[in-house]
Amino acid sequence: MTRTYPHFINGLETPASDGATFPVYNPATQTVYGHAARGTGADIARAVEAARGAFPAWAGLAPADRERIMLRAADWIEAHEDRFLDILIDESGSTIRKAKYETGYSANLFRAAAGEARRLYGDTFPNDKTHRLSFVIREPLGVVAAISPFNAPLVLLVKMIVFALAAGNTVIAKPSEETPIVAVELARGLHEAGFPPGVFNVVTGYGPETW
C-alpha cells in the first residue's frame, strides 16, 4: 500500500482542491513509490492567501527569534536524517552518499542563514541638505516562490528558501513533479521545528496546472 502525500498549506496537510493525485515513481524500479496531491490554480491561491496572511507577523518577528527557529529546523533535519535518506533514495534514485550529502548540507544551510537573520544591515549616506540624513533600510519583499528541480530535490530547494526565510519573507514551494515528496516532508519538519503556519507552504503537481 503506497502513501498519499497532500500539499502542505498554512501548517496543515491539505488535499488538492479537487481531490486529485498523481503517482510518483521510484526511478530505479519504475514502481509507484507514493502519490502526491495534483495541484491546481485554486491550490496555489490557497497557498498565496496563507503566505500573505503569515507575512506581517513573520517579517515583524525579532531577528533573534527567526534565528532560533531556523536553528531548530537544522536540528530537526539532522534528527530525521534516516527519513530523508529513505525518501531521497526511493523517490529520486539517489545513492546513500549523495542523500547524506543533501541532508547534511541542508541542515548547514539553515544554520548559515539563521545567523544572517541578525545581519540585515542598512546604510547611511551624506546628504546635501543641512540636518538631514539619508539611509537605506532592508525590508522583506513579501511572498516569494521557489520552483525546485528533481536532480537534488532537497538541497536545491533549501538553497532557494533559507535566506528568503531569514530575511522575513514567506515562501510557496513548487517542487518537481518527479520529486515532490521530500518537499512535503521538509514542510512538515519546519512546522514541527516551530515555523508558524503559512510561512512555508508546498504545492505539488504538474507545472502547467499549478498556476
- CATH code, domain with 158: 3.40.605.10
What residues make up the domain containing 61? 3-206
* pLDDT at 64 > cutoff 90: yes
- Structure confidence at residue 127 (pLDDT): 83
Per the domain annotation, does 52 fall within a domain? yes
- Structure confidence at residue 128 (pLDDT): 83
Per the domain annotation, does 211 fall within a domain? no
Cα(28)–Cα(90) distance, rounded to whole angstroms? 8
pLDDT digits (tens, 9 = 90+) for 96-150: 999 999 999 999 999 999 999 888 877 888 888 888 888 888 889 999 999 999 9
pLDDT digits (tens, 9 = 90+) for 152-176: 999 999 999 999 999 999 999 999 9
Distance from the first to the final alpha carbon of the chain: 31
State how far the alpha carbon of 109 is from the alpha carbons of 73, 77, 159, 189, in Å: 10, 11, 7, 15
Per the domain annotation, does 50 fall within a domain? yes
Per the domain annotation, does 175 fall within a domain? yes
Per the domain annotation, does 172 fall within a domain? yes
* pLDDT at 195 > cutoff 90: yes
pLDDT digits (tens, 9 = 90+) for 21-58: 999 999 999 999 999 999 999 999 999 999 999 999 99
- Structure confidence at residue 32 (pLDDT): 97
- Other Cβ atoms within 10 Å of 62 Cβ, number: 10
Cα(8)–Cα(201) distance, rounded to whole angstroms? 5
- Structure confidence at residue 82 (pLDDT): 97
Cα(19)–Cα(34) distance, rounded to whole angstroms? 15
Cα(197)–Cα(104) distance, rounded to whole angstroms? 25
pTM of the model: 0.93
Cα(90)–Cα(111) distance, rounded to whole angstroms? 27
- Structure confidence at residue 119 (pLDDT): 85
Structurally, the chain folds into a number of domains equal to: 1
Q: What is the mean pLDDT of residues 180-208?
A: 97
Burial of residue 98 (number of CB atoms within 10 Å: 0-12, 13-18, 19+): middle
- Structure confidence at residue 91 (pLDDT): 97
Per the domain annotation, does 68 fall within a domain? yes
